[in-house]
């Protein structure tokens, strides 16, 4: 992991140098005028899913960092698949960003149009946070794997630098390892959102230009929809810092893809997966019951994924004791990241089986407890890596009493919990600044302090 000393060195890469007036330089008056260099163009691939506010939240988070640290750059945002809800958030909060749509290839059709133009104009191509560069973790679809790597080969052919921002890496099953190593070792930078992923690449001799810990892009998110958020809070009697937000995740199919499914969203959950959900949601119900009876504060059942709206109702809310149910708000509709941010900003604390609502909470200064499923991969370690290891648990190995105890500890010494969040986020922002200096250097700009 990058140390504080490493960060200081990185921040000092561009020391202040005196610039002589042009007329004082030998021979300048005799030289023809030279056009100033064009502003860099950064092409960002992001927005993996409209039905998951974590997949949506990566985008405004990283866009905000680029806007803040590389204001000279023109930002192009590539949406390969339709993302109408994410685009509402982006056009509202980032009017200068141009959204580019389209697939990188389509059978025998020539590569042309706005996407090709975007690549050919790019000074840098960045793939935003996620875990898409794995093989054998969630499946063995070789075509999908190569489709993800093909744009990098195009960049190599055209001399376009590329980098990966806030990624997790878990598995490169045979015969993927040499292919991934060949391509990713030629990246200008790879920032891993958990140090386990960084160590994994390092141990297998991946040698990109820079390989370091770099926070998930969602940590940069600051967008809000105050009108919708405040209306929801008022309607449901949720007062500032007087409710716990709870986010669940189940082994159930996505609403938009019920037939095909995926390992984490099975179309037909097995009996073992169904039992796993029953046990996990029983812990959530016990945690909620303890919280309400011990603190007297309310609970919001909030969806990070659209499919979990219904699951939170049937698996949690409907099975709570009547006296507890009266203190619990079940959100019955899905939402976008900016409305969620406006609600999360008023939460006392957050508990989640999913990580990205919790990342949003941390970005807002809210204490969190994450109970991760190990099947979700290495990404859960990011909470430890920013200094919040005591708030990271394994949902299937941890009893409900331990999860409740940690939330009650936060409640009993809330100022200390808030201080922990602030310390963790100070480290996150330090790393964000360091990563963005590398982005600046990659596109030919000098280092720049935060504005």
Sign of CA dihedral 129, 130, 136, 141: negative
Separation CA 99–CA 97 (nearest Å):
6
Could you report the average pLDDT of every consecutive run of 10 residues in the chain (451 residues)?
42 36 38 59 96 95 98 97 96 98 91 96 97 92 92 97 98 96 98 98 98 98 98 98 98 82 88 97 98 98 97 98 98 98 98 98 98 95 98 98 98 98 98 98 84 52
| pLDDT per position as a tens digit, 250-300 | 999 988 777 777 888 999 999 999 999 999 999 999 999 999 999 999 999
Report residue 49 as tokens. Answer: 């899913």
Separation CA 51–CA 255 (nearest Å):
9
The pLDDT of residue 37 is 59
Residues 248/199, Cβ–Cβ less than 8 Å = no
Q: How many CA atoms lie within 13 A of 303 on its CB side?
A: 21
Number of residues in the chain: 451
Tell me, letter by letter, the H, E, C secondary structure of the chain: CCCHHHHHHHHCCCCCCCCCCHHHCCCHHHCCCCCCCCCCEEEEECCCCCCEHHHHHHHHHHHHHHHHHCCCCEEEEEECCCCHHHHHHHHHHCCCCEEEECCCCCCCCCCCCHHHHHHHHCCEEEECCECCCCECCCCCCHHHHHHHHHHHHHHHHHCCCEEEEEECCCCECCCHHHHHHHHHCCCCEEEECCHHHHHHHHHCCCCCCCEEECCCHHHHCCCCCHHHHHHHHHHCCCCCCCEEEEECCCCCCCCCCCCCCECCECCCCCHHHHHHHHHHHHHHHHHHHHHHHHHCCEEEECCCECCHHHHHHHHCHHHCCHHHHCCEEECCCCCCHHHHHHHHCCCCEEEECCCHHHHHHHHCCCCEEEEECHHHCHHHHHHHHCCCHHHEEECCCCCHHHHHHHHHHHHHCHHHHHHHHHHHHHHHHHHHHHHHHHHHHHCCCCCCCCC
CATH class held by domain 39-220+428-442: alpha beta
Compute, in degrees rounded to 10, the torsion defined by CA atoms 226, 228, 234, 240.
-40
CA nearest 363: which of 58, 45, 94, 69? 58
The pLDDT of residue 349 is 98
CA nearest 172: which of 192, 199, 201, 194? 201
Report residue 116 as tokens. Answer: 């090709």
The pLDDT of residue 38 is 78
Separation CA 29–CA 214 (nearest Å):
46
Residue carrying the six token digits 């991969």: 377
Would the CATH topology of 39-220+428-442 be identical to that of 226-412? yes
226-412 carries CATH number 3.30.300.30 = no
Report residue 50 as tokens. Answer: 């409209």
- 246-267 burial string, b = 16+ CB within 10 Å, else e? bbbbbbbbbeeeeeebeebbee
Q: Residue 244: beta bridge partners?
A: 299, 349
Sheet holding 328-330, edge to edge: 328-330, 298-301, 243-247, 349-352, 368-372, 392-394
Report residue 411 as tokens. Answer: 């409640």
Q: Say how many C-beta atoms besides its own lie within 10 A of residue 6's C-beta.
A: 13
The pLDDT of residue 31 is 40
| Interstrand relation of 211-213 and 243-247 (parallel, antiparallel or unpaired) | unpaired
Instruction: Show me where the domains of the chain are located.
Output: 39-220+428-442, 226-412
CA distances from 162 to 101, 169, 210, 263, 441 (A): 19, 17, 11, 29, 13
Separation CA 382–CA 109 (nearest Å):
41
């Amino acid at each position: 992991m990058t140390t504080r000393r490493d960060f200081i060195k990185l921040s000092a890469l561009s020391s202040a140098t005196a610039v002589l007036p042009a007329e004082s330089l030998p021979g300048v008056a005799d030289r023809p005028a030279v056009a100033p260099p064009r502003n860099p163009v950064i092409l960002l691939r992001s927005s993996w899913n409209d039905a998951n506010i974590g997949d949506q939240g990566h985008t405004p988070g990283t866009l905000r960092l680029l806007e803040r640290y590389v204001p000279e750059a023109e930002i192009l945002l590539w949406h390969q698949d339709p993302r109408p809800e994410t685009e509402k958030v982006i056009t509202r909060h980032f009017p200068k960003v141009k959204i580019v749509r389209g697939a990188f290839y389509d059978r025998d059709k020539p590569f042309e149009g706005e996407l090709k133009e975007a690549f050919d104009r790019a000074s840098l191509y960045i793939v935003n946070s996620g875990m898409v560069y794995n093989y054998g973790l969630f499946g063995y679809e070789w075509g999908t794997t190569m489709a993800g790597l093909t744009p990098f080969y195009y960049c190599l052919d055209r001399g376009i630098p590329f980098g990966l921002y806030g990624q997790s890496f878990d598995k490169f099953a045979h015969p993927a390892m040499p292919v991934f190593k060949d391509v990713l070792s030629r990246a200008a930078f790879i920032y891993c959102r958990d140090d386990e992923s960084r160590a994994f690449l390092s141990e297998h001799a991946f040698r990109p230009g820079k390989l370091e810990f770099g926070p998930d892009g969602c940590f940069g998110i600051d967008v809000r929809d105050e009108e919708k958020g405040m209306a929801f809070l008022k309607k449901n009697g949720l007062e500032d810092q007087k409710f716990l937000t709870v986010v669940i995740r189940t082994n159930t199919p996505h609403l938009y893809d019920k037939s095909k499914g995926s390992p984490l969203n099975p179309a037909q959950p097995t009996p073992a997966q169904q039992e796993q959900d029953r046990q996990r949601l029983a812990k959530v119900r016990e945690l909620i019951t303890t919280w309400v009876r011990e603190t007297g504060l309310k609970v919001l059942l909030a969806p990070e994924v659209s499919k979990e709206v219904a699951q939170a109702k049937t698996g949690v809310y409907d099975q709570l004791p009547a006296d507890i149910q009266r203190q619990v708000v079940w959100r019955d509709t899905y939402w976008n990241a900016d409305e969620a941010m406006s609600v999360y900003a008023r939460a006392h604390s957050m508990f989640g089986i999913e990580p990205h609502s919790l990342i949003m909470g941390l970005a807002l200064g809210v204490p969190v407890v994450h109970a991760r499923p190990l099947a979700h991969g290495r990404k859960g370690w990011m909470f430890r890596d920013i200094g919040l290891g005591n708030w990271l648990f394994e949902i299937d190995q941890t009893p409900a009493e331990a999860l409740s105890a940690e939330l009650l500890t936060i409640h009993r010494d809330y100022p200390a919990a808030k201080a922990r969040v602030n310390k963790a986020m100070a480290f996150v922002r330090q790393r964000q600044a360091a990563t963005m200096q590398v982005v600046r250097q990659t596109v030919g700009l000098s280092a720049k302090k935060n504005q």
